[in-house]
Amino acid sequence: MADVIKTATRDAYGKALVELGGINDKVVVLDADLAAATKTGMFKKAYPEKFFDCGIAEGNMMGVAAGLASTGYTVFAGTFAMFAAGRAFEQVRNSIAYPHLNVKIGATHAGISVGEDGASHQCCEDIALMRSIPGMTIINPADDVEARAAVLAAAEYEGPVYMRFGRLAVPRIFDEDYKFEWGKAVVLNEGTDVTICATGLMVNEAIEAQKLLADEGISAEIINVHTIKPLDAETILKSAEKTGAIVTAEEHSIIGGLGSAVAEAVCENGKAVPVVKLGVNDVFGKSGPAVELLHIYGLDAQNIVEKAKKAVSMK
């Protein structure tokens, strides 16, 4: 068996920016003194004249991004998710989203898997914050192939985009010829007993959970929800009608993220199916090795299995 390729989605972000720099003269990149960590340093090395380090002043960086976008540039502004969604929320809302400017926020180091940086940097609230902003699109890719495709697609999209990338290297799921469809969830495995909607690094865990569930005679349909806003409710609801139960899995708080979006869609469309959410249970993170933290907080395949069994029992 060939070795599994593991790459952090933040690495794909940096490489995709370099790729864009060679084909789109209107692309400029901003960072907030974290170019090495966010991987925007790759773009800086290739196109120094189109890269601007705004220093440790994330709110100001979003204002600069808005100004550049208002003059016709496609702006990628990168920093950690905690600072992009949290510290700079007001500027993102008022300066970028309100005038619907062409700014793409590259939010790296999202979720518990930031690891040793601890609770102050482990942003598990960013999707909820960005979902609350009118007109904001949210993308959370599952692997490096999808991350690259998402960055390229974001450059072509008119309006603000929040892209969520991770620090931890994750297994590659998709082939190089994978085609990213804007706002379209991807059914990775068809099933009849339970639908598992996963996003980001939890997609790989859902795939592993599907195998474990199959051993127990439970057929799981796996959906990769790479675009959380706007949500592809049609695909999810169609699956729910078939399986009769839903589990959501995300490296984010159970409040306001994918689970909330799916539950809202189910309720609004009058579907009487249970929705069981797996995520960070309304607590802060803590410092530790990333993989260990994922297990501590229950963000793994085995916990998806348990949630799936619960959802099936509720039908």
CATH number, domain containing residue 40:
3.40.50.970
Residue 57 has pLDDT above 60, yes or no: yes
Task: Looking at the structure, tell me whether residues 97 and 213 fall in a common domain.
Answer: no
Given the residues 19, 49, 58, 221, the one annotated as active site: 58
Q: Cα separation of 28 and 44, whole Å?
A: 10
pLDDT tens digits, 95-153: 999 999 999 999 999 999 999 999 999 999 999 999 999 999 999 999 999 999 999 99
CATH number, domain containing residue 260:
3.40.50.920
Q: Cα separation of 307 and 315, whole Å?
A: 13
Domain with 106, as residue range(s), is 6-171
Torsion angle, alpha carbons of 61, 66, 72, 74, to 10: 60
pLDDT tens digits, 239-278: 999 999 999 999 999 999 999 999 999 999 887 899 999 9
pLDDT tens digits, 296-307: 999 999 999 999
pLDDT at 3: 73
Task: Looking at the structure, tell me whether residues 157 and 206 fall in a common domain.
Answer: no
Residue 89 has pLDDT above 60, yes or no: yes
CA distances (Å), 130 to each of 134, 138, 307, in order? 9, 7, 26
Task: Looking at the structure, tell me whether residues 215 and 301 fall in a common domain.
Answer: yes
pLDDT at 272: 86
On average, the pLDDT of the chain sits at 96
Task: Looking at the structure, tell me whether residues 221 and 308 fall in a common domain.
Answer: yes
> Model pTM?
0.96
Note whether 219 and 213 are within 8 A (CB): yes
pLDDT tens digits, 147-169: 999 999 999 999 999 999 999 99
Task: Looking at the structure, tell me whether residues 61 and 127 fall in a common domain.
Answer: yes
Q: Cα separation of 274 and 41, whole Å?
A: 45
Q: Which of 121, 144, 171 is the last residue of a domain?
A: 171
Helical axes 144-156 vs 9-21, angle rounded to 10°: 40
CA distances (Å), 78 to each of 7, 33, 41, 252, 292, in order? 19, 9, 10, 19, 27
Note whether 232 and 258 are within 8 A (CB): no
Task: Looking at the structure, tell me whether residues 135 and 209 fall in a common domain.
Answer: no
**Residue 176: inside a domain:** no
Shortest CA distance to 103 belongs to which of 161, 49, 153, 54?
161
Residues 6+ apart with CB under 8 A from 133: 92, 93, 97, 160
Q: Quick one: average pLDDT of 14-33?
A: 97
**Structural domain count of the chain:** 2
Helix (H) or strand (E) holding 235: helix 233-243
Residue 62 has pLDDT above 80, yes or no: yes
181 is catalytic: no
Residue type, 247: V
